[in-house]
């Protein structure tokens, strides 16, 4: 799926104006049908300003994309020791992450962070 959809909006509106169906546009950009329909509706209603991202409610992410990928890479290197991963991230980024935040990052990336059992 496309990470930032703003660059995809303008071409999708042009394709829609050229007569391409919403179903075809969803296959090109790999987004939901409702997303393309919303882009079309907003484009017709608001014009060019609708192409840009609007401010959203909620707290902004603590880690920017570059630091997020660094955190995921660190978890992949040492999945059994999130405490050390947290310390390393604090040294590299000067940001402290709670253990729950690291676990949430690992879970979203479909990584395992639990230590193995002794048999």
Classify residue 59: in a domain, yes or no: no
Cβ neighbours for 20, distance < 8 A, ≥ 6 positions apart:
none
pLDDT tens, residue by residue, 75-96: 888 888 888 999 999 999 888 9
Per-residue model confidence (pLDDT) at position 2? 41
Classify residue 36: in a domain, yes or no: yes
Q: Are residues 47 and 71 in the same domain?
A: no
Q: Are residues 35 and 69 in the same domain?
A: no
What is the average pLDDT score of the chain? 83
Residue 49 gets which letter from DSSP? G
Cβ neighbours for 76, distance < 8 A, ≥ 6 positions apart:
111
Classify residue 29: in a domain, yes or no: yes
pLDDT average, residue stretch 18-31: 89
The range of the structural domain enclosing residue 97 comes to: 65-108
Q: How many domains does the chain have?
A: 2
Classify residue 114: in a domain, yes or no: no
Q: Is the pTM of this model over 0.85?
A: no
Q: Is 53 helix (H, G, I), strand (E, B) or coil?
A: coil
Q: Where are the alpha helices (DSSP H) in 1-119?
A: 6-17, 22-29, 33-46, 65-77, 82-93, 99-108
pLDDT average, residue stretch 8-14: 82
Are the beta carbons of 6 and 53 closer than 8 angstroms? yes
Classify residue 117: in a domain, yes or no: no
Q: Is 48 helix (H, G, I), strand (E, B) or coil?
A: helix
């Amino acid at each position: 799926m496309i990470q930032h959809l703003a660059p995809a909006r303008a071409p999708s509106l042009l394709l829609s104006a050229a007569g391409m169906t919403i179903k075809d546009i969803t296959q090109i950009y790999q987004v939901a049908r409702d997303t393309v329909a919303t882009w079309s509706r907003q484009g017709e209603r608001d014009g060019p300003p609708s192409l840009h991202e609007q401010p959203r409610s909620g707290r902004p992410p603590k880690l920017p994309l570059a630091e997020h990928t660094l955190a995921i890479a660190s978890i992949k290197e040492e999945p059994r020791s999130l405490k050390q991963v947290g310390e390393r991230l604090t040294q590299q980024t000067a940001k402290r992450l709670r253990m729950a935040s690291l676990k949430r990052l690992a879970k979203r990336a479909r990584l395992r962070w639990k230590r193995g059992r002794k048999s």
